[in-house]
A and B are shown apart, each in its own frame.
Chain A
């Protein structure tokens, strides 16, 4: 039995390079104006998974992502770096899912991939910043979880040692397998894409993508099973639709406030002791520091 690691990854809009079109007038993210990228902390998670694979001959790294058809791109990106296989959870019925509904869908998919040893994901995604999906998935799978991982110093068939990056320092914990881990951005950066893997997997497609391809690669796709990225729908997961999408999502956006920093908000402070004193007091009073 191989040592199976499932990496949860998300395709996100690149909110680190925001231009003036990044937000729509209603205050929501304008996804069309932002390039879609591999969520940065998920890349760190992939790296930790690949490092385990580097050490073991029997390790298999599977990438699981949920999103629209184009999210298959991040599965390929993972394959170019050393992942063995990918699954895309995609269905219109998932649209509007919050973290609760998302972790429900993901946990069903992870169960389909049993037996697994590790479920590893980034701590949080840069579009929502909730840091909830990893822990919620662990809860639904009823397995222990270790959050804020930075390094995996040791793995055996039965247990794992994880170094956690906490606000005040580090903590080294030992946990039984199977286990869910969320990875902090202080973990090592993900390795570069590997030339040979890129050339090997660049034709990897989901069935939907294959049908929309300009050139017909069906024959190649059938000859080389490793090029097949499986799509899983609500039916494939036997999911309860009432727990998915908007109906399965108790999170409601109450209000969106658009904060515009205007020039009139600025204040000139001289370098006199008195001005600096006043500034410090103001910062402490407003709980910005202290």
Chain B
């Protein structure tokens, strides 16, 4: 009888953000399908009401089925039987319930059986499912692959594959190889075209593939012989029914144990090309990875929410020295900081999702008609924002969710270290988020561009132009100082004109930007609802102090210091 949507009012708050009016109108092409499909929205209000009600179903399935199954799924895990991955009992039950409720292919257009949901409610669903079971959220979340097929696949491929998602097809994205992890340019799996039949054949090994035995797999492969970089890679879609892939093993992992991570051997496996050759990594996988990073953002927020709730419950119930431990400053400060950080990354998550929504909607509109100049300008504006916000989101949400899970376990004391409470699973599950879909270190590499080209400062300034209530003005003044301090520190690092030195400080600079941006987001949340005033106040104080410390460190450093780090 639990509902992970209705018991968390933050979600509805973000669902009803003012920018949603624009997003839904674009996504629904001005509600053009209302007479074509009986489940298409009539207008904005009706669309939001539909999202709200569908999220309630997701919340119920997550609270009543996925959540209660999480422990047994973690213990049981998937098995490899006769070259097939067999999910844990609970995993299968979760998946079946979500398929029957129609929650696969949520963002696909209705013509392919989808719900045509924008990213915001789709990402919200991912957050809700992740709170119940982060490992299961991967299996469910791989429906992202449908979005890539939809965006880049031919009509033939779209008609063949997309309708299968809503009927319950599982998906995988096969990118990583033993020697191609963070560096995907090194992918070796070979794709050979049989020119007589027009069919491609795949040969080689993929490693660490989540849900590797899926019905539909997107495979990154080298289609251009004698190449060794990204320009020789193309993206393919492989159908499991060909039975041309051997599953070597399922990895034994620290966390997300319900999610099968496979090593695969492709042996002359027939596949179809997505889009054009040579664009596989450069264009299609980059887009796929951006969705996946948004997905990890949602997963991280879900894990943070779960961890915080476990900690709060325990701290209220556990008594020591004659009172509940939450009454001690050391504990209530931790609990509150966990909540504040969760509010911050959630705000960043939905802000990023909104940016992605708008630029994606224009992308698809551009396929059907010529965009107006003003629309093209908006497209570019939001695309740029999505590009710089996505790595920031992936970095902060995953790092915070680990900190929150760490603190949640700490609050449980010795009990938390035992297998008796969900918090130990949450702690293990959290650990992967800073690693997969690009490590935190790689997110910094992606985000530093936004530091260099002024995109973050521009975003901060744009937030600053929004008027806030007088009682919140003091926070805005602090954020203005932080913006100024950030810009000056970037200049100071750049004065040395030394790339290695910039890389050395990159994380500090990116974190300064993130602290300021999340501060602004919480301020604007507080401006819209006083519920967030406390979180905004605490976060901005914390962020200010952190940025001052970073500036202190940067100001007393010099490029010649790097030598000291090279001695080990």
On whether the two chains bind one another, the answer is yes
Query: Does B75 make an interface contact (CB < 8 A)?
Result: no
Is the Cβ of A192 less than 8 Å from the Cβ of B42?
no
Is the Cβ of B101 less than 8 Å from the Cβ of A195?
yes
Is the Cβ of A193 less than 8 Å from the Cβ of B57?
yes
* CA gap between A226 and B40 in the complex, in Å: 15
The chain A residue with its CB closest to the CB of B61 is: A192
Is the Cβ of A195 less than 8 Å from the Cβ of B115?
yes
Say yes or no: A199-B60 contact (C-beta < 8 A), given A194-B100, A194-B102, A220-B42.
Answer: no
Is the Cβ of A195 less than 8 Å from the Cβ of B54?
yes
Query: Does A92 make an interface contact (CB < 8 A)?
Result: no
Query: Does B103 make an interface contact (CB < 8 A)?
Result: yes
Is the Cβ of A224 less than 8 Å from the Cβ of B38?
yes
The chain B residue with its CB closest to the CB of A196 is: B39
Query: Does A202 make an interface contact (CB < 8 A)?
Result: yes
Query: Does A191 make an interface contact (CB < 8 A)?
Result: yes
Least CB distance from B35 to A in Å reads 9
Q: How large is the interface on A (under 10, 10 to 19, 20 to 34, 35 or more residues)?
A: 10 to 19
Query: Does A24 make an interface contact (CB < 8 A)?
Result: no
Interface of A is mostly: helix
Say yes or no: A196-B115 contact (C-beta < 8 A), given A191-B100, A202-B53.
Answer: yes
Return the contact of A198 from the options B40, B54, B61, B97 (Cβ within 8 A): B54
Least CB distance from A223 to B in Å reads 9
Interface residues as binary, A202-246 with B (CB distance below 8 Å gives 1, 0 otherwise): 100000000000010000100010100000000000000000000
Q: What residues on A are CB-neighbors of B42 within 8 Å?
A: 220
Least CB distance from A193 to B in Å reads 5
Say yes or no: A198-B115 contact (C-beta < 8 A), given A192-B100, A192-B101, A224-B38.
Answer: no
Q: What residues on A are CB-neighbors of B102 within 8 Å?
A: 194-196
Query: Does B49 make an interface contact (CB < 8 A)?
Result: yes
Query: Does A200 make an interface contact (CB < 8 A)?
Result: yes
Docked complex: B97-114 residues within 8 A CB-CB of A: 97, 100-103, 106
Least CB distance from A24 to B in Å reads 25
Return the contact of B53 from the options A192, A198, A226 (Cβ within 8 A): A198
* CA gap between A193 and B39 in the complex, in Å: 14
Is the Cβ of B97 less than 8 Å from the Cβ of A192?
yes
Query: Does B50 make an interface contact (CB < 8 A)?
Result: yes
Least CB distance from B368 to A in Å reads 24
Docked complex: B362-411 residues within 8 A CB-CB of A: none
Q: What residues on B are CB-neighbors of A215 within 8 Å?
A: 45
- Which of A192, A197, A200, A224 lies at the interface centre, i.e. has the most chain B CB atoms within 10 A of its CB? A192
Return the contact of B57 from the options A192, A220, A226 (Cβ within 8 A): A192
The chain A residue with its CB closest to the CB of B45 is: A215
Docked complex: B36-85 residues within 8 A CB-CB of A: 38-42, 45, 49-50, 53-54, 57, 60-61
* CA gap between A224 and B100 in the complex, in Å: 25
* CA gap between A194 and B115 in the complex, in Å: 11
Residues of A within 8 A of B (CB): 17, 191-200, 202, 215, 220, 224, 226
